[in-house]
Amino acid sequence: MKYPKQLLYTKFERFWHWSQMLLVLLLTLTGFEIHSSFSFFGFERAVRLHSAAAWSFMGLAVVSIFWMLVTHQYKNFIPTKYKLKEQVKYYTSGIFSGMPHPTHKSMYNKLNPLQRIVYAGLLILIFPVQIVTGIAYMYYHYPQNPLDAGGLTLAAGTHTFGAFLVVAFVIVHMYMTTTGYSVSSNIKAMISGFEKEIGQEETKSETQSE
């Protein structure tokens, strides 16, 4: 059965998503190499790449925040209690029994209640903490503006803990991309920008047939 498609992700949104993914991947690889977890780029090159990726990430963040405010897409990240219980039930049991998804996407409702909470935490807490502690760690190494070594230890520890949280998010996020009406539907939507419009009853039958 064919279903009409709706535009969910604009060109900028897709550029933002994939650029951010590549930057986070580069930051993760170089960050762990800086901590001597493995050797791939070489320490000095890893430091330079990590710094460049960090500044690029911050630049992308500024542009994306401006875009969200202008287009009102920030509404997608505001937490809500609407259908929160239904969403929890869906992920804990319903998804394994072919139940229809309790929420449906639209241009201003792209994230379900649980996703909104997680993304709000990333945007408001984890990413800002990573940026602040990363800058503190970076500028400690410059003789013209040294920071207190005790503060450096706290900043480095917090930055590393935040990195593990980001890695955990990426792993869960990768799994969640497979929970659409088909295994690849969410990935395809983030590439093309379009996703099929399927009602609750159709979602159930479509999921069971694929």
**DSSP notation for 122-168:** IIIIIHHHHHHHHHHHHHHT-TTS---HHHHHHHHHHHHHHHHHHHH
User: Above 50 in pLDDT, residue 209?
Assistant: no
Burial of 53 (0-12, 13-18, 19+ CB in 10 A): buried
pLDDT above 90 covers what percent of the chain?
57
**Each residue of 91-149: pLDDT tens digit?**
888 888 888 888 888 888 999 999 999 999 999 999 999 999 888 877 765 555 555 55
DSSP 181: S
User: Above 70 in pLDDT, residue 203?
Assistant: no
> Could you give the CA distance from residue 94 to residue 103 in angstroms, rounded to a whole number?
13
What the block records as the tokens of 163 is: 């990195």
pTM: predicted TM-score of the whole model, two decimal places: 0.82
> SS3 for 2?
coil
- Closest alpha carbon to 193 in 64, 18, 11: 11
- Closest alpha carbon to 177 in 169, 185, 167, 165: 185
> Could you give the CA distance from residue 88 to residue 117 in angstroms, rounded to a whole number?
12
What pLDDT is attached to residue 147? Answer: 54
Sequence-distant (≥ 6) Cβ neighbours of residue 129 within 8 angstroms: 158, 159, 162
Q: How far is CA 72 from CA 75, 83, 108, in A?
A: 6, 22, 8
**Each residue of 142-152: pLDDT tens digit?**
555 555 555 67
